[in-house]
Structure 1
Amino acid sequence: MARIAVDAMGGDFAPRAPIAGALHALGALAPEHHIELVGQTAVIEAELAALLRGELAVVAHVRDRLSIVEAPDVIEMTDKPSVALRGKTHSSMVVGIKRVAEGHAHGFVSAGNTGAQMAASLVSLKLHAGLTRPAIGTIFPTAKQPILVLDVGANVDCAPEELVQFARIGTVYAQALLDRENPAVGLLSIGEEPEKGNLVVKEAHQRLRGAGVNFIGNVEGRDLPRGFCDRGAIDVVVCDGFTGNILLKFYESIGPMLIGMVSKVAGLDPREIAGSLKQLDVDEYGGAPLLGVRGVSIISHGKSSPRAIKNAIHVALRAHESGMTDQIGRRLAESMPQTTASGTSS
């Protein structure tokens, strides 16, 4: 049995999208699983009643597997993370993450303020020993099989050792959630040669050679859509959050562009094409885990639809059931036995 907490007040389309997404998820999940909607009780109850009387009446039977956790404050998308955490300690985001930290929930999903979610996760869940920063890991579709890219927005600037840390936690994620036995890790750069890239990338390349991961060297932007380079298939791509976030936003635009172009040329309904290109749909993957914290915290896009929230809940469930966060802790302890850090961020 798993209990997933969902931020009912987070995202551009809250509370309807997260609540509808939770109902859809429960309709597809085994009956032993439970979802908590965290937020303003009166608002959640009114939205639930409207959905279950209308478009989602078909899943009314799951209502008894849904509970509400009161959280009167709301962190807005424009709130600065530090200000939000200090001034809105009873927000849906802070309360939801504390539910995970205290063992009441097995994972948390939010489409709200990303910076605030990262900060709240660091404060309540803490970092695994040996890490200095967390990373957001996102699944990218390719012509072969999906790959994990991290970081895609948590850290604008990174030190070489932090890129090495991302490679280690990315390896565990690929093993636990992508079923890759010995994940191949590539370092995103402007050329495959070790001497290509900025100072951070070149230093990270040297360190990754002895980091205890299956490092296949530098990979270039053109390798990601293919899913492989001239040294073989790629499973994990490591980069700083500035580069990764630009790459992610570019990737997100490809699907709608291709659907529009093909529909015009072929004279087809865009919805027909969308079905065959669903792997390019950002809603298909739902959310990205904040990797490196001691708990499951899933970050969803601010414009997440109910389907995206549903899929993000599935990501949270898989992360919990696979024991991903515990595996990351063990892998870090094995690869850095000299570490004596307490696990708090620096």
Structure 2
Amino acid sequence: MARIAVDAMGGDFAPRAPIAGALLALGALPPHHQIELIGQTAVIESELDALLRGELAELAHVRDRITIVEAPDVIEMSDKPAAALRRKPNSSMVVGVKRVAEGEAQGFVSAGSTGAQMAISLMVLRLHAGITRPAIGAIFPSAKQPVLVLDVGANVDCAPEELVQFARIGTVYAKALLGRDNPAIGLLSIGEEAEKGNLAVKEAHQRLLGAGLNFLGNVEGRDLPKGACDRGLIDVVVCDGFTGNILLKFYESIGPFLIGMVSKVGQLDPRQVMGSLKQFDVDEYGGSPLLGVRGVSVISHGKSSPKAIKNAISVAVRAWESGMTDEIGRRLAESVPEAPAAPAAPVTGPAK
């Protein structure tokens, strides 16, 4: 049984979106799974009652699988990420991450401040030995198969060894959650030749050649929509968080652009077009686990809809059931046998 803690107060559309998403998730998950809604009890109860009396009345039967955990404080988007734990120890985000650290919940999902969730997860869950920074991995649709890209915003600048760590982490993720037997790794650069790229990319390329991974070499931005390069299918693409975040937000704009363009040219109902292009719907993927910490902490977009939260909860369940975080720790320990427990890294990525 998985018990997933959901930040009921996080996100642009909280508390309605996370609470509705939790109900939708329980309606789709097997009956042994449960959800904890973390936040202000009176607010959560009021929203739950309204949803179950109205638009989600058909899900009244899952109400007994929901527990409310009181957390009176709310971390706002304007709060400084590094100070969130210290200044608001009773916030929904801090309480939720602590539930995971204490073994009371198997995963945490939030659409609140990305920077705050990263900082709190690092300080409370800590990093696996052998890793210096965590990464946010996002699933990108392609013509062949979904591609995992990391990092997409946790680290603006990355050293070569950190890019190698991301490749190791991505390999475990692709096996555990995407079902890829021998994930093929690509290093994002401005050309496929080994000498192309900045200093960090060029050195990371050389290190990846001897890392014992299925490394395809450099890949270019044009390879992502294809899901392949001339050396084969791509499962994982590694880059720094500055590049990855720009790429992610560009990708997120493609779906609405294509839907609008095709609808106009073909004089079609946008809803019909959306059905055929649903792989470009960011809500389909829901959220991205913060990879490298000792627990499941899933980061969702600030504008997450109930559908996105529902899918983020499914990601958290699959991450826990697959043992992904433990496997990441094991793989990293094997690659750096003598590595001491790493301290929490500074937050350098963008907050929502």
Shorter-chain-normalised TM-score: which range? over 0.9
- 8 Å CA contact 1:129–1:344 kept in 2: the answer is no
Aligned to 2:271: 271
* CA-to-aligned-CA distance 1:247-298 (integer Å, 9 cap, x gap): 0000000000000000001111000110111110000000001000000000
Aligned to 1:256: 256
Q: Which runs of 5+ in 1 are unaligned?
A: none
CA distance in 2: counterparts of 1:131 and 1:304, whole angstroms? 30
Aligned to 1:345: 344
Once the two structures are superposed, the pairs formed by residues 18-97 of structure 1 within 5 Å of their partners are: 18-97=18-97
SS in 2 for 1:35: strand
Percent identical residues: 81
SS in 1 for 2:195: coil
* CA-to-aligned-CA distance 1:34-73 (integer Å, 9 cap, x gap): 0000000000001001111100101001000001000000
Structure 1 residue 105: Cα displacement = 0.2
Aligned to 2:112: 112
Aligned to 1:187: 187
- 8 Å CA contact 1:194–1:202 kept in 2: the answer is yes
Structure 1 residue 144: Cα displacement = 0.2
Q: Which runs of 5+ in 2 are unaligned?
A: 346-352
Is the aligned partner of 1:316 residue 2:308? no
- 8 Å CA contact 1:100–1:295 kept in 2: the answer is yes
CA distance in 1: counterparts of 2:3 and 2:27, whole angstroms? 15
The aligned amino acid for 1:303 is K
Aligned to 2:231: 231
- 8 Å CA contact 1:131–1:345 kept in 2: the answer is no
SS in 2 for 1:299: strand
Structure 1 residue 212: Cα displacement = 1.6
CA distance in 1: counterparts of 2:38 and 2:254, whole angstroms? 34
How many residues are matched?
A: 345
* CA-to-aligned-CA distance 1:81-122 (integer Å, 9 cap, x gap): 122221101000000000000000000000000000000000
- 8 Å CA contact 1:190–1:197 kept in 2: the answer is yes
SS in 2 for 1:298: strand
Structure 1 residue 213: Cα displacement = 1.1
SS in 2 for 1:283: helix
Aligned to 1:196: 196
Aligned to 2:11: 11
- Where does structure 1 differ by over 4 angstroms across 4 or more consecutive aligned residues? none
Structure 1 residue 300: Cα displacement = 0.1
SS in 1 for 2:5: strand
Aligned to 2:349: none
Is the aligned partner of 1:218 residue 2:218? yes
SS in 2 for 1:100: helix
- 8 Å CA contact 2:84–2:120 kept in 1: the answer is no
- 8 Å CA contact 1:128–1:344 kept in 2: the answer is no
SS in 2 for 1:288: strand
The aligned amino acid for 1:334 is E
